[in-house]
Structure 1
Amino acid sequence: MKEELAVSVFRPEGPIKAAVFVVHGMEEHHLRYNEFAEYLKDQGFGVVTYDLPGHGKSGKIEDRGWFGDKDGWKNLVDSAVEIALRTKTEFPGVPLFCFAHSMGTMIARTFIQSHDEMIDGLILSGAPNYVSAASAGKAIAAIVCKLKGNRSKSKLLTSMATGGFSKAVENAATPVDWLSVNTENVAKYIADPDCGWPFTSRGYYDLFDGMIQMHDLKAFRCNKPDLPIWFFAGEGDPCIGGEKGFADSISNLRKAGYTNVTSTIYPGMRHETLNETDHMKVFEDVAEWLTGHC
């Protein structure tokens, strides 16, 4: 699968401290990161955002949630490699950082298994924790694909992948309240036709496959063990698997050989910390972290 990726470039007017490429999450698009990218640009960082394959304007609408009939997860990871190289070309001679959110962190964690030497730091926002049920999910998705086709839609697979998140918020007004405490952000997400659509059955197969791959310690070459890695998440983010899941995600990269892994939990926030009412606090912390690692 090869398609032209939709890309936006944010170029500072003055000297450039470093470059950042952004890997967004599932069922969303890169334009949702415009405010964040503009802020970083104003702080002297060159930024490249893009739509993942099967998302936003990368490919046809009918291909949303489909990443190929084979090697779907590899196609997603390859897109990050492509954008990393593009960012280096756009902003040569400065440090390169990856900022990834949600499913994007799964892609980024797979990316560094073979390409950690390409970047100078990694920020992981709202990183889903590994769950052992991913193997069963992958097997079930394979059966659904065989019976109904790779491009079919499956309520069962959708529920298996994300159904539990909506139950994380008591008295939720919408099925996606888990995204944010900020009701305005939730309303915008619901109203956005480029957000919230289900993956294809093969897309869910790839998602479960990706969870397994990102967790595979044997796959990490760890060519850059001192790579700075920062996990952060909202305290009420169901994706991270609570305190234990968050700690397990951090521990897995340390077991892989990375020695500079830190973390932050933001009280009063959920999954999309960049879109919470107090998002400027997060923006400022990201800029400070990047500046400190240039």
Structure 2
Amino acid sequence: MTSITRPSISRPSLSALPGEAGQLAVYDWTMPANKPLGTVLLVHGLGEHAGRYGEVAAHLHQWGFAVRAYDQQGHGQSEGARGDLLRPGSLQADLCRVIDDTRQRPALASAPLILLGHSMGGLVVARTLAEQLRPVDAAVLSSPALGAFPNLLQKMLLATLPRVVPHLRVDNGLKAEFVSRDPDVVKAYKADALVHRRISAGLAAWILENSEKTLHAAEKWEVPTLLLYAGQDKLVNAQASADFAYAAPQTVVQAQCFEGMYHEIFNDLYRAQVFNALKRWLLARFSA
């Protein structure tokens, strides 16, 4: 087991930014004392919120990076119906708003910008890059929601419901015990009042359609990307991450599978391995 010193986790400051479905809650962790090597913008997954990424932010600070995050619409402390999607494309539009706001901040404007998206957040990051909505310097995809293949009944429902009742919300079906192999993480996830279990027909259809689009875009990928994924993921399709890495240019996308881990690799029992892989990749590109 790889060991790593866990840094102290500071509380982020919160601010609000107008988004597609109302105000977005934006998190800023205390800046490193020196000029940052870059800014990492965190994008969380379905049903959760950015406040769960304090340990990730602490490690990034320890390595010299500024850290921002935000709650996506319908999640955490942001506005919007829980688990809903205002319209197709609105998740990317919200990310673009936060990117623009980050670029306008004097302390961050000249620093390289790295997007780090987990699960559904990884898909939002991937679509924003594939559609070339904003230029960024690099990206990290953590267990991204790629290549979701529903069964025949689900396909039939998603072919009809989003057109008729796109904002109809149901249970998202995610089983908490498959979030992490760390029982303390699972316990905290279940007790977290800001974690919800809703997903709308429109959001489910968006995930399905855009996960496929992202796989097809892999061979033309241009943004330097680190793809980290769990080999025992039971919440997203791990094979799809392997397929993306195989199809993408090897000089652009570096991938690593953590064979025994569950979905939240940054919250795994052996997450030191993941943090070490992230640190090596970031400092190889952005270290002074």
Smaller-chain TM-score bracket: 0.7 to 0.9
Please state how far the C-alpha of 1:245 moved relative to its aligned partner: 2.8
Counterpart for residue 121 of structure 1: 138
Contact in 2 for aligned 1:6/1:50 (Cα 8 Å): yes
- Normalised to the residue count of structure 1, the TM-score between the two structures is 0.79
Structure 1 pair 134–96 and aligned structure 2 pair: CA distance change class (3 A): farther
Please state how far the C-alpha of 1:221 moved relative to its aligned partner: 11
Please state how far the C-alpha of 1:154 moved relative to its aligned partner: 3.5
Following the alignment from structure 1 to structure 2, what is the Cα–Cα distance between the partners of residues 54 and 214?
Answer: 23
Alignment of 1:92-103 (within 5 A): 92-103=109-120
Deviations 1:203-261 (A, max 9, x none): 223322332443343xx895x73x3211112222234534x43321223444xxx7421
Counterpart for residue 250 of structure 1: 245
State yes or no: 1:64 paired with 2:94.
no
| Aligned positions, number | 264
Amino acid aligned to 1:8: Y
State yes or no: 1:232 paired with 2:228.
yes
State yes or no: 1:130 paired with 2:150.
no
State yes or no: 1:82 paired with 2:101.
no
State yes or no: 1:152 paired with 2:199.
no
Does the residue aligned with 1:26 lie in a helix, a strand or coil?
coil
Counterpart for residue 24 of structure 2: 5
Does the residue aligned with 1:293 lie in a helix, a strand or coil?
helix
Following the alignment from structure 1 to structure 2, what is the Cα–Cα distance between the partners of residues 144 and 79?
Answer: 24
Structure 1 pair 196–187 and aligned structure 2 pair: CA distance change class (3 A): same
Counterpart for residue 186 of structure 2: 186
Please state which structure has a larger fraction of its residues in helix: 1
Amino acid aligned to 1:64: R
Counterpart for residue 18 of structure 1: 38
Please state how far the C-alpha of 1:120 moved relative to its aligned partner: 1.3
Amino acid aligned to 2:60: L
Alignment of 1:214-293 (within 5 A): 214-217=214-217, 225=222, 227-242=223-238, 244-254=239-249, 259-293=251-285
Question: Which deviates more, 279-288 or 1-10?
Answer: 279-288
Structure 1 pair 146–106 and aligned structure 2 pair: CA distance change class (3 A): closer
Contact in 2 for aligned 1:135/1:212 (Cα 8 Å): no
Please state which structure has a larger fraction of its residues in strand: 2
Q: Which runs of 5+ in 1 are unaligned?
A: 163-174
State yes or no: 1:106 paired with 2:107.
no
RMSD of aligned alpha carbons: 2.7
Please state how far the C-alpha of 1:57 moved relative to its aligned partner: 1.0
State yes or no: 1:202 paired with 2:202.
yes
Structure 1 pair 208–178 and aligned structure 2 pair: CA distance change class (3 A): same
Structure 1 pair 108–273 and aligned structure 2 pair: CA distance change class (3 A): same
Relative contact order (alpha carbons < 8 A, sep ≥ 6): 1 or 2 greater? 1
Please state how far the C-alpha of 1:30 moved relative to its aligned partner: 0.3
Please state how far the C-alpha of 1:9 moved relative to its aligned partner: 1.2
Over the matched positions of the two proteins, sequence identity in percent amounts to: 22
Amino acid aligned to 2:35: P
Contact in 1 for aligned 2:146/2:215 (Cα 8 Å): no
Amino acid aligned to 2:207: L
Following the alignment from structure 2 to structure 1, what is the Cα–Cα distance between the partners of residues 219 and 229?
Answer: 26
Does the residue aligned with 1:199 lie in a helix, a strand or coil?
strand
Please state how far the C-alpha of 1:143 moved relative to its aligned partner: 2.6
- Normalised to the residue count of structure 2, the TM-score between the two structures is 0.81
Counterpart for residue 7 of structure 2: none
Following the alignment from structure 1 to structure 2, what is the Cα–Cα distance between the partners of residues 176 and 144?
Answer: 26
Contact in 2 for aligned 1:110/1:214 (Cα 8 Å): yes
Counterpart for residue 15 of structure 2: none
Structure 1 pair 221–20 and aligned structure 2 pair: CA distance change class (3 A): same
